[in-house]
Amino acid sequence: MTLRLFGVGATWAISLLAAFLAFVAVTRGHMAFASIPAVLPALRFDVGVTPLAAPFLALLAMLGVAVGAWGLRGDRPVDAVLIAGFVAAMLLVLVARSVAAFVLAWELMSLVSAFLVAANHSCRSVRRAAFVYLVVAQSGALCILVALLLLASRAAGPTFSEIAVAAATMPPGTRTAAFVLALIGFGSKAGLLPLHFWLPRAHPVAPPGASALLSGAMLKVALYGLCVVVFELAAPAPAAWGVALVILGTVSAIGGVLYALVDHDLKRLLAYHSVENVGIITIGIGVALVARSSGVIALATLALIAALFHAVNHGLFKALLFMGAGIVAKTQGTVDLEKLGGLWGRLPWTAPLFLVGCAAIVALPPFNGFASEWLTFQSLVGGFALEDPVARILMLGASAGLALTGGLAAACFVKVFGVAFLGRSRRAKQSHVDEPLRERFNSATLAQALLAGACAALGLIPALAVVPLVRISAATLGALQPPGIAFAPLASLSALPIALVILSVAGVLACLALVARRGLRRVPTWTCGSPVTPAAQYTATAFSKPLRLIFAFVLRPEHRRLVETGTSPWFPARIVYRIESRDVIDEAARRLGAIALYAARRSRALQSGSLRLYLAYAVAALGLVVVLARR
Amino acid sequence: MIALSVLQLLVITGLAPLLHGAMKLLRARLQGRPGPSVLQPYRDLAKLWCKEAILPDGVSPIAVAAPGIALGVALTLAAALPLAVPAIPPLGEIVALIFLLALSRFSLGLAALDSRSAFAGMAASREQTIAALVEPTLLLALLGAAALGRGTQLSALMHVPFGLAGLLAIGAFFLVLLAETARVPIDNQETHYELTMIHEGLSLEFSGWQLAFVQAASYVRQLSFLLLAGLLLPGGTVWALAAWAVALAALVTAVETLFAKVRLFEVPQLLVSAFVLAAASIALRLLGATL
């Protein structure tokens, strides 16, 4: 218990620190705290805050508080300590202001999170997930290190401010190389297609509190890294980078939601939705870059506000949904949508809170997802007025892609909530689940309530986030002049959510009043006269079938029918019907992994154990160094 | 201004069942049947209002509240149209209205899955599928004014020059209209066969005043969408809008008489062609200045 309390206390303390730093960053702007010299000047540690880090710090603080409360009951005690370490590592990444500090903090974050992913390591699939995660994280970290070193090569020193000063004089080739490497490194960590394949494996297997942080916070820290590179270290970014980000973002958004649609493992489905939402955030960043390189700072500011706002929002509702999925897993023993159903009655706290998360993630007014997705749309539509016709067509494509994503996400969450929480349980044997086990309010539900409250508050009063974000974005983009016409969306956003839903709220109240006055008779469902069984309900597979068939060219579903024949081949004992979707990229990654492992096995020959061979290596290396040094 | 908006809301809500009745009558006449009175929808609503509401055992409060949400969304859409006034500023925003329509579908879809009926679940699945495919087209068809740099307010659409781009946009929107108002060739309101129902299937388990809410919502939505289509056509006055809405209603009825319902898995082809039309329309407008 002391271990758990220590972990939770530390998480809360770090969250408070993060909140304080976010406040400082918004009110004071750039601020350097400490510069710790090292033996080599290149290894100097610099710590400070920038306005850009502020929304991420604030998100980390909110998630830290909620995950801390969650940790009081859920997970193992040692996980609570690991989570505290994880939050601290993310905080360090956000305040690192020199190459060495950033890379070290980044590595710390990857390693601690790998321990969390591997928490249930007795299961083979968990070990594999952790291994894949580590491989991707380390390869990504290598790319980031090289990118930062490339950027620092021309600078006077290793601190980010010095690199930013030198960025303008860098040859475009080097800068582009650094951008591509940073995009691979940060993009793989953030889960952008096609480097997302680790994410749907790693996020679901971690303990729920850790999943909430992995999806809610760590992906955003990766996007923060990308923002630092494109808006500060390698600024000014050419329009082509923005174009690349918008295209990648759109592809990730559509791809993520399509794979989520056909997946019926609640946690893996949520992980795929992270890919989708990271895509939406990346679209915002890309539009900001395109607009900035065209000199339309007002539009760039709007797009950056949308991206940062959506990053915060996604962190909040995704953490909420992962916690809900954790409760489902704990109480039902499964997260397979085909086996769930009717949880509304059994989880009277989690179910409505989960519904808030669903409404927020599909951007229904008046929740926070609506506000930020709407702003993203507004920035795309604002891009219709850009000079460059290519940019305009790009914005058109991205708007259509985003609209499709929105529709598909709505379909997916109708499926999730309708199948898992509504209707009746789909279990064949209902012995232990049908007893009226009622959930009580406890610290785990408190954590979800905090996050749901934040989702509702930011949705109803978007100004809470938008007002500081205007300052942050303007400071990040170096906007000097007061915001112009593109800011009309921000002004109308404050009244929009309430105006949109006020009649619907009235409608709901009318319904409740009518039920109170005239009553509502309950009868069995009409199933054409046949007995009402849970098996008559529509399943998740059936629900997603039309979309699975329409998008078969991407999803490539595989139908498998296993017939178990008993005594007679004409009367099968059991028929199992299974549909699996083959993730094309997953397949490619698996092939690549196999090749890498093969190469690793072959390279074992180098390590023969013979002392003489090792001496020969040493001499050869020395010779190589001498030859290289002489040139 | 608020008073004018409320008046507009009342007029649209009051006339929506009449238009539905007129469409039903026209359709019956085109098919050589005498048809019901144009006032039949009012009578239906009154009858349903007086009847008792029943719901399946053990459903959640979502199923109780969903008809209210659907009606509220439809009324908001009606209030947001730029007829009497340019619409209360934040309301007439196109992207926000599209998000709002999703709210109604989401709650009705959840209610359908909650009812434990396979038919309702099937309808919810199909409705969400079609909505996901319609959403990009709906957005692009309505962004004509935005493509000319005039913002995303509905009122800006009234004075957009028509031309080829306008023709493409209205073509796309007409297909969207058929999908959103549950008309042949995409859906069939008159069907009594549960397996082919999409929109009707969603409300299978509703009855009494709850069904009245859902029906009223679909009448109001239908008129609102017809008026939205009117915005894309040349005119620019309220009377022109109303005339276009009536003309389009007649056209929808004619299409219903002349064409058969297409198979569910051929609907995507129809909707993709609508998307191509809408995208071409916007692209023409976006590049008009440079080409």
Residue A434 has pLDDT above 80, yes or no: no
Task: State the pLDDT at residue A485.
Answer: 46
Q: Where do runs of H (alpha helix) occur along A421-462?
A: 443-460
pLDDT (mean) for A119-131: 87
Query: Using CB atoms within 10 A of its CB, is residue B287 exposed (0-12), middle (13-18) or buried (19+)?
Result: middle
Listed residue (A435, A197, A391, A440) closest to A287, CA to CA: A391
Q: Which residues of A touch B5 (CB under 8 A)?
A: none
Q: Is there a contact between A413 and B151 if contact means CB atoms under 8 Å apart?
A: no
pLDDT (mean) for A73-100: 89
> Which residue would you say has higher pLDDT here, A611 or A433?
A611
Task: State the pLDDT at residue B141.
Answer: 92
Question: How many CB pairs lie under 8 A apart between chains A and B?
Answer: 267
Q: Which of A199-203, A320-324, A431-435, B193-197 has the lowest mean pLDDT?
A: A431-435
- Work out the widest C-alpha separation in chain A, in whole angstroms: 95
User: What integer best gives the mean pLDDT of chain B?
Assistant: 90
Q: Pick A374's closest partner by Cβ from B95, B125, B149.
A: B95
Which letter does DSSP use for residue B93 in this model?
B
pLDDT (mean) for A529-553: 86
Nearest-angstrom CA–CA distance, A372 and B289: 31
Asked if the C-beta of B156 comes within 8 angstroms of chain A's C-beta atoms, the answer is no
Nearest-angstrom CA–CA distance, B118 and B98: 28
CB atoms within 10 A of CB B214: 24
Q: How far away is chain B from the Cα of A488, in angstroms, using its nearest Cα?
A: 10
CB atoms within 10 A of CB A38: 12
Q: Is there a contact between B56 and A522 if contact means CB atoms under 8 Å apart?
A: yes
pLDDT (mean) for A203-207: 88
Residue A237 has pLDDT above 90, yes or no: no
Asked if the C-beta of B90 comes within 8 angstroms of chain A's C-beta atoms, the answer is yes
> Which residue would you say has higher pLDDT here, A28 or A453?
A453
Cα A546 to chain centroid distance, Å, stands at 27
pLDDT (mean) for B35-45: 94
Nearest-angstrom CA–CA distance, A211 and A274: 11
Task: State the pLDDT at residue B109.
Answer: 94
pTM of the model: 0.93
Listed residue (A371, A382, A369) closest to A493, CA to CA: A371
Task: State the pLDDT at residue A603.
Answer: 87
pLDDT digits (tens, 9 = 90+) for A584-605: 777 888 888 889 889 988 888 8
pLDDT (mean) for A459-477: 88
Q: In a 3-state reduction of DSSP, which class is residue A335?
A: coil
pLDDT digits (tens, 9 = 90+) for A140-194: 999 999 999 998 888 888 888 888 888 888 888 888 999 999 999 999 999 898 8
Q: Can you give the length of chain A in residues? A: 631
Task: State the pLDDT at residue A609.
Answer: 81
Q: Which residues of A touch B290 (CB under 8 A)?
A: 389
Name the residue with tokens 């909707």. B271
B220 within 8 A of B78, measured Cβ to Cβ? yes
pLDDT digits (tens, 9 = 90+) for B248-287: 999 999 999 999 888 888 899 999 999 999 999 999 888 8
Q: Is there a contact between B57 and A521 if contact means CB atoms under 8 Å apart?
A: no
Q: Which of A102-111, B51-60, B147-156 has the lowest mean pLDDT?
A: B147-156
State the best of A350, A361, A390, A414 to mutate against chain B, taking most chain B CBs within 10 Å: A414
pLDDT (mean) for B159-169: 87
Number of C-alpha atoms within 13 angstroms, CB side, residue A135?
Answer: 17
Say if strands A572-581 and A45-49 run parallel, antiparallel, or are unpaired: unpaired
Cα A17 to chain centroid distance, Å, stands at 23
State the best of A372, A376, A377 to mutate against chain B, taking most chain B CBs within 10 Å: A377
pLDDT band at A202; cut points 50, 70, 90: confident
Query: Using CB atoms within 10 A of its CB, is residue A492 exposed (0-12), middle (13-18) or buried (19+)?
Result: buried
**Token pair listed for A204:** 């679901």
Question: What totals of helices (H) and strands (E) does chain A contain, helices first?
Answer: 26, 5
DSSP string of A410-423?
A: HHHHHHHHHHHTSS
Task: State the pLDDT at residue A604.
Answer: 84
Nearest-angstrom CA–CA distance, B55 and B62: 12
pLDDT (mean) for B10-19: 94
> Which residue would you say has higher pLDDT here, A391 or A587?
A391
Q: Can you give the length of chain B in residues? A: 291
Q: Which residues of A touch B275 (CB under 8 A)?
A: 400
Nearest-angstrom CA–CA distance, A249 and A193: 8
Cβ under 8 Å to A: B residues 199-218: 204-205, 209-210, 213
State the best of B51, B100, B137, B220 to mutate against chain A, taking most chain A CBs within 10 Å: B100
Cβ under 8 Å to A: B residues 172-201: none
Beta-bridge partners for B55:
A522
Task: State the pLDDT at residue B87.
Answer: 60
pLDDT (mean) for A7-17: 92
pLDDT (mean) for A223-242: 90
Q: Which residues of B touch A280 (CB under 8 A)?
A: none
Nearest-angstrom CA–CA distance, A404 and A414: 16
Residue A479 has pLDDT above 70, yes or no: no
Cβ neighbours of residue A198 closer than 8 Å, sequence gap 6 or more: A129, A132, A133, A135, A136, A137, A188, A191
Long-range contacts of A524-529 (CB under 8 A, 24+ apart): A524/B56, A524/B57, A525/B56, A525/B57, A525/B115, A525/B116, A525/B117, A525/B205, A526/B117, A526/B204, A526/B205, A527/B117, A527/B118
Q: Which residues of A touch B156 (CB under 8 A)?
A: none
pLDDT (mean) for A390-402: 92
A224 within 8 A of A96, measured Cβ to Cβ? no
Asked if the C-beta of B18 comes within 8 angstroms of chain A's C-beta atoms, the answer is no
pLDDT band at A481; cut points 50, 70, 90: low
User: What integer best gives the mean pLDDT of chain A?
Assistant: 88
Q: Where do runs of H (alpha helix) occur along A29-123?
A: 54-71, 77-95, 99-117
Residue A509 has pLDDT above 90, yes or no: yes
pLDDT digits (tens, 9 = 90+) for B124-137: 999 999 999 999 99
Q: Is there a contact between A504 and B131 if contact means CB atoms under 8 Å apart?
A: no
Cβ neighbours of residue A427 closer than 8 Å, sequence gap 6 or more: A339, A341, A433, A534
Residue A582 has pLDDT above 80, yes or no: no
**Token pair listed for A14:** 């770090």
Task: State the pLDDT at residue A333.
Answer: 85
State the best of B76, B105, B154, B269 to mutate against chain A, taking most chain A CBs within 10 Å: B76
Q: Is there a contact between A525 and B71 if contact means CB atoms under 8 Å apart?
A: no
pLDDT band at A431; cut points 50, 70, 90: very low
Q: Pick A522's closest partner by Cβ from B55, B98, B132.
A: B55
Listed residue (A118, A234, A255, A121) closest to A186, CA to CA: A234
Q: Which residues of B touch A534 (CB under 8 A)?
A: 116
CB atoms within 10 A of CB A348: 14
Q: Is there a contact between A525 and B115 if contact means CB atoms under 8 Å apart?
A: yes
Name the residue with tokens 């409360």. A69
Q: Is there a contact between B71 and A507 if contact means CB atoms under 8 Å apart?
A: yes
Q: Is there a contact between A407 and B106 if contact means CB atoms under 8 Å apart?
A: no
Q: How far away is chain B from the Cα of A138, in angstroms, using its nearest Cα?
A: 38
Which letter does DSSP use for residue B161 in this model?
-
Give the CA distances from residue A594 to residues A135, A138, A199, A382, A604, in Å, rounded to whole numbers and listed in that order.
13, 17, 19, 46, 16
pLDDT band at A428; cut points 50, 70, 90: low
Q: Which of A68-72, A180-184, A528-532, A624-628 has the lowest mean pLDDT?
A: A528-532
Q: Which residues of A touch B102 (CB under 8 A)?
A: 362-364, 406-407, 410
A309 within 8 A of A399, measured Cβ to Cβ? no
Q: Which residues of A touch B96 (CB under 8 A)?
A: 365, 374, 496, 500
**Token pair listed for A54:** 């502020």
* A531-547 exposure pattern, b = at least 16 Cβ within 10 A, e = fewer: ebeeebbbbbbbbbbbb
pLDDT (mean) for B131-154: 88
Q: How far away is chain A from the Cα of B100, in angstroms, using its nearest Cα?
A: 7
Q: Is there a contact between A522 and B286 if contact means CB atoms under 8 Å apart?
A: no
Q: Pick A547's closest partner by Cβ from B132, B134, B213.
A: B132
Beta-bridge partners for A45:
A36
